[in-house]
Structure 1
Amino acid sequence: MELLTTNNVWIMICTVLVFFMHTGFAFLEIGLTRQKNTINILFKNIFIITVGLLLYAFVGFNLMYPTWGANASGYLGDFVFGLSSPLTTEGTLDLTYNEGYTYWTDFLFQGMFAATAATIVSGAVAERMKIGSFMVFTILYVGFVYPIAGSWKWGGGFLDKMSTPFYDFAGSTLVHSVGGWAALVAVCLLGSRIGKFKNGKIQAIPGHNIPLATAGVLILWLGWFGFNGGSVLSADPALTSLTLVTTCLAAAAGGVIAALVSTFMYKNLDLTMFLNGILGGLVAITAGADVMSPTDAILIGAIAGALIVFGVSLIDKLKLDDPVGAIAVHLVCGIWGTLAVGIFGNLASGAQFLSQLIGVVSYAVFCLATSFIILFTLKKTIGIRVSEKEELEGLDAHEHGMDAYPDFRLNEH
């Protein structure tokens, strides 16, 4: 009982840290976008966490962790609605649901992860997507797509049953790439913001509050202590400590290398590239944080940092508009970190790399298909993009009737 209590308290602390990450996402997104869309972005982030938790309680948790029957395919579990208290045969609350934590702690910790996938999309579509369409997308993607995808590995599905099981410790693919693929589809279907590309040239649209974006990244880094540390699913001293060390070293390496590569390529010290490099390192190490040495973590993070710079450049050259760099951070680095499990660390082997590749492709096909169906249907029915007037004047005024800074104007002296 004492061990159960210790483990359970640790995971509850980690749950709080992962919850706090939503503050980081909100700060990062509003900081890297324009003042006139601040309320819109904040509204989306609050909607995601509130509705996401309700959806996860109603259907997502059971869908993601099904009781696979003997003849189950491992692709789709049974739909069981609502949460149910695990009881012993005597009818009392079963505190031995798991060796490490209780049923309720399990639900809440996993529920915090569920909302993150839609938050990734929120940043990529900022400043031009209709709020109603985004809300419908969130309900379908968080409520059904994410849990089904998660069940393939974390719920004991087909990827976990392979002869060499696919490995994703805390979600480089299951969380970050799942959101990243949807972000890519959304950006393609939405088109770029007005003024982003003129006469074939890329035009920078600066964010209105870089200090707030910086605070957001630091909060996310702090939250990753819970994101990866809690994924140990116990308070095991050795494994938890190693996981936190590899997580931090990858983040640091990602930031430093992104800053250096960016400076070499563009001849300026770009803070936003430095910040996204940190996030890229965090995303990349998340798949194998528990099986990497400190040196492995630094290499994985460093490569992720370089990929951030090249990824952002490629996305711009493809005329795709991602205001916060979500695709480079969460998709590109998520793929890299997942494949890195087969290259570095305790599991490195040809067979493991092949399993990692199968997992990446499986999630790519599923997430591209489902997000396209949802977003294309919305585009052809209620529409997904605001009018030109609404975009130019700001979504805050038109969709919310509010101003984030009513007593402050950037042009006032």
Structure 2
Amino acid sequence: MFLKKTPTHVTGRLVLGAVVMAAIFAPSFAHAEEVEYLTQSNANILWTLIAACLVMLMQAGFGCVEAGFTRAKSAGNIMMKNFLDFSVGSIIFFLFGFALMFGLDVGGVFGSSGFGLTGVGDGDMMWTYTFWFFQSVFAATAATIVSGGMAERTKFSSYILVSIVITGVIYPISGHWAWGSLWLGDDGAGWLERLGFCDFAGSSVVHSVGGWIALAGAIVLGPRLGKYGEDGSTRAIPGHNIPLAGLGVFLLWFGWFGFNAGSTTTADNTIGLIAMNTSLAACAGVLGAMAVSYLRYGKPDISMTFNGALAGLVGITAGCATVSPVSSVCIGAIAGVLVVLSIEFIDTVLKIDDPVGATSVHGVCGAWGTIACGLFNVDGGLFFGGGVAQLGVQLIGVGTFFVWAFGCGLLLMMGIKAIFGLRAGKADELKGLDIAEHGSESYNGFQLFSNE
């Protein structure tokens, strides 16, 4: 059987028609591709901006948690420090921090371009503005973690210097090691990033850095007056407003969806999984902390349960995009257990006064979440057949962030203490920092001391 051959003149017409059709529709295809690119680009900008606003709301959450867990006479001072962290931190990060964190790499250690966002081409500016804003709220988060560990006894003027150095130097430099490529690609990659270090949204980069600096600050400051007896006994100093602290935890939980899912900086199909993992880990953290406190104290402790939610959120931040939902429950539950044991150990054994548990929630659970990537990552985790390579890199990162943040924190706090003084005077601490530092009361009409 033979196929019927198409006449030559017919073939010529078909070819000519195809050429004409291509000429007509090629611009349309090109236009469609351009529209698709612009749509995705604008969606990325919008999603990242919304996420950044959610993270900015976390400043309110931190303020409520810290104020609620401490005494009424210094509540306004704590809120002032949270306002300060965001305000001075954003300006310093704009001038110096962003460039050190995301500029052209110098030896894998720090960035060297983009100070004040100078030298950026016109075509990159719209995205750069959005990316800078997103990263600025992360910098403010790292700083505001520290205020909780140093609450009720720090001179406000000295704390300004603490916030400036954290957002301008300490956080950006270590952040470059793990996230340096996020703006300029391989031209900005830091040394930990090149090793394959995994910290998607900042368990170590943000939270452990803040937690370890808070630990250094609490050590250099010393405990609040009356916290420890002469016989070494530990005395509880209850917070003045537990419902306010609970509201703060819910605000943080809500903002964390921007913190974690927004770290894609892309409006794609991964943000649902990240949000799911984030919430599951927080829920598991609540249950883990509540169960341990129930077993240890005979009743489910409220403040420990609140911190369990935050512990789960901190713990899942590193692996929120790289682990399964079941693994996120495991990570969050372990974080909830760890935070209770860590708070007890730091408070009763080490005798370090951390009023809100910042070191345990952010430092310890941030380290745990980073290590958990080496265990639970679907691609490369030890429990998923990936061997110990990823776990080894994660341990290197955890150790590095501790040495850097705690070491720099000690030097910073001791330097400020020696030159300017770090701690408020005894009379000011007894009176409360609201009156002593700011000349006002947070709850007017309920004064315990005369203003005369």
User: What TM-score results when the alignment is normalised by the length of structure 2?
Assistant: 0.85
Say whether residues 1:258 and 2:296 are aligned partners: no
CA distance in 1, matches of 2:115, 2:46: 27
Alignment of 1:170-319 (within 5 A): 170-198=201-229, 199-237=231-269, 239-316=270-347, 317-319=349-351
Deviation at 1:84, TM superposition (A): 3.0
Q: Which stretch shifts more, 127-136 or 401-410?
A: 401-410
Aligned partner (choices 364, 376, 392) of residue 332 of structure 1: 364
Matched residue SS, 2:402:
helix
CA offsets, 1:207-253, max 9 Å, x none? 1111100000000000001000100121112x100000000000000
CA offsets, 1:355-378, max 9 Å, x none? 001111111111122111111111
Deviation at 1:407, TM superposition (A): 2.7
Question: For residue 22 of structure 2, what is the aligned residue in structure 1?
Answer: none
CA offsets, 1:164-194, max 9 Å, x none? x111000000000000110111111111111
CA offsets, 1:17-40, max 9 Å, x none? 000000000010100110100111
Q: Which amino acid aligns with 1:39?
A: G
State the Cα RMSD in Å: 1.4
Aligned partner (choices 111, 119, 123) of residue 94 of structure 1: 123
CA offsets, 1:105-164, max 9 Å, x none? 1000000000111111100000011111111111111111111110001001000112xx
Question: For residue 135 of structure 1, what is the aligned residue in structure 2?
Answer: 160
Taking only the aligned residue pairs, the percentage that are identical comes to 45
Runs (4 or more) in structure 1 with deviation over 4 Å come to: none
Deviation at 1:409, TM superposition (A): 5.3
Question: For residue 18 of structure 2, what is the aligned residue in structure 1?
Answer: none
Select the structure with the greater relative contact order (CA < 8 A; seq sep ≥ 6): 1
Alignment of 1:5-44 (within 5 A): 5-44=42-81
Who wins on radius of gyration, i.e. which is larger? 2
CA distance in 1, matches of 2:401, 2:220: 20
Question: For residue 76 of structure 1, what is the aligned residue in structure 2?
Answer: 110
**Closer/same/farther in 2, CA of residues 395 and 409 from structure 1, 3 Å limit:** closer
Q: Which amino acid aligns with 1:186?
A: G
Say whether residues 1:388 and 2:417 are aligned partners: no
CA distance in 2, matches of 1:84, 1:244: 34
Say whether residues 1:113 and 2:138 are aligned partners: yes
Tell me if structure 2 keeps the 8 A contact 1:280–1:304.
yes
Question: For residue 146 of structure 1, what is the aligned residue in structure 2?
Answer: 171
**Closer/same/farther in 2, CA of residues 225 and 85 from structure 1, 3 Å limit:** farther
CA distance in 1, matches of 2:127, 2:272: 22
Tell me if structure 2 keeps the 8 A contact 1:59–1:79.
no
CA distance in 1, matches of 2:241, 2:418: 35
CA distance in 2, matches of 1:65, 1:343: 28
Deviation at 1:410, TM superposition (A): 8.3
Aligned partner (choices 159, 174, 191) of residue 158 of structure 1: 191
Matched residue SS, 1:407:
coil
Q: Which stretch shifts more, 383-392 or 334-343?
A: 383-392
- The structure with the greater share of residues assigned to helix is 2
CA distance in 2, matches of 1:378, 1:62: 25
Structure 1 gap segments, 5+ residues each: 88-92
**Closer/same/farther in 2, CA of residues 94 and 32 from structure 1, 3 Å limit:** same
CA distance in 1, matches of 2:236, 2:407: 31
Matched residue SS, 1:152:
helix
Question: For residue 402 of structure 1, what is the aligned residue in structure 2?
Answer: 440
Q: Which amino acid aligns with 2:421?
A: G
Q: Which stretch shifts more, 137-146 or 104-113?
A: 137-146
Say whether residues 1:351 and 2:389 are aligned partners: yes
Deviation at 1:85, TM superposition (A): 7.0
CA distance in 2, matches of 1:167, 1:341: 7
Question: For residue 13 of structure 2, what is the aligned residue in structure 1?
Answer: none
Q: Which amino acid aligns with 1:357?
A: L
Question: For residue 17 of structure 2, what is the aligned residue in structure 1?
Answer: none
Pairs aligned (count): 396
Question: For residue 369 of structure 1, what is the aligned residue in structure 2?
Answer: 407
Deviation at 1:15, TM superposition (A): 0.7
Deviation at 1:76, TM superposition (A): 2.4
Q: Which amino acid aligns with 1:73?
A: G
CA distance in 2, matches of 1:191, 1:259: 29
CA distance in 1, matches of 2:44, 2:110: 30
Matched residue SS, 1:161:
helix
Tell me if structure 1 keeps the 8 A contact 2:98–2:114.
no
Tell me if structure 1 keeps the 8 A contact 2:104–2:113.
no
Deviation at 1:204, TM superposition (A): 0.8
CA distance in 2, matches of 1:377, 1:85: 34
CA distance in 2, matches of 1:390, 1:325: 23
Matched residue SS, 2:444:
coil
**Closer/same/farther in 2, CA of residues 203 and 191 from structure 1, 3 Å limit:** same
Question: For residue 90 of structure 1, what is the aligned residue in structure 2?
Answer: none
User: What TM-score results when the alignment is normalised by the length of structure 1?
Assistant: 0.93
Q: Which amino acid aligns with 1:242?
A: L
Q: Which amino acid aligns with 1:111?
A: S
Matched residue SS, 1:194:
coil
